[in-house]
Amino acid sequence: MRKIGHAGTLDPLASGLMLMLFGTATKSAEKLTKLDKRYVAQIELGATSTTGDNEGEKTAVSKQVPTSEEVEAAIAQLTGEVTQVPSVYSAIKINGQEAYKRARAGEKVEMPARQVTVHELVMINYEYPRLDVEAHVSSGTYIRTLAEDIGKLLGTGAYLSGLVRTECGGYGLQDAVVLDEADAAQVEQHLRSL
């Protein structure tokens, strides 16, 4: 069987572009995972989630309805070099095991802060409680953490309710090929064995 790999996974909630690598292209995986990415994110204001996304248990925080100007001001604070503390429900490995596995097993997980770059964060649409943004970010940026940070700045709480990766480096979703179910099952089976 030919080698099959990928250049960065997507959260279960997310859809969109995922670079699949076949044969000798698998040697480029590390380089390709470091490419900048672009996302369209749907954020729900007014509550937080234990996982930072739609899968977690929600807790209402505030019924305050921020103005568009307040939302724009919060977004502007999260552009440029940003320090993030990723969710414990991320795939970051802590002592050799993914943080989300440790967290789901009930273990207390301390996540290290990291520096990331948010090149651009733009409001696409805002009708409280839903906020849609487009984000152009460096590798390693967690969009669910950006959503939570927007909620903290607004004092409303927030979590990620939808996410689509639209670009990875120069590769765009508009040029993507959809694997058929048979191919997708074969790729998924191989990736599990890695």
Query: Could you tell me which residues come within 8 angstroms of residue 114 by beta carbon, excluding any fewer than 6 positions away?
Result: 83, 84, 85, 86, 140
Look at residue 96 and tell me if it is in a domain.
yes
pLDDT tens digits, residue range 130-170?
999 999 999 989 999 999 999 999 999 999 999 999 999 88
Look at residue 116 and tell me if it is in a domain.
yes
Report pLDDT for 123.
98
Number of domains the chain contains:
1
Look at residue 154 and tell me if it is in a domain.
yes
Look at residue 97 and tell me if it is in a domain.
yes
Q: How far apart are CA 17 and CA 163, in angstroms?
A: 11
Q: Which of 11, 53, 180, 183 is catalytic?
A: 11
Look at residue 9 and tell me if it is in a domain.
no
132 is a catalytic site residue: no
Q: What is the pTM of this model?
A: 0.84
Look at residue 107 and tell me if it is in a domain.
yes
Look at residue 105 and tell me if it is in a domain.
yes
Least confident of 94-98, 144-148, 184-188: 184-188
Q: What is the CATH number of the domain that holds 40?
A: 3.30.2350.10
Residue 184 binned pLDDT confidence (cut-offs 50, 70, 90) = low
Give 129: exposed, middle or buried? Use CB within 10 Å, 0-12, 13-18, 19+.
middle
117 three-state secondary structure: strand
Q: How far apart are CA 135 and CA 107, in angstroms?
A: 32
> At 27, which amino acid appears?
K
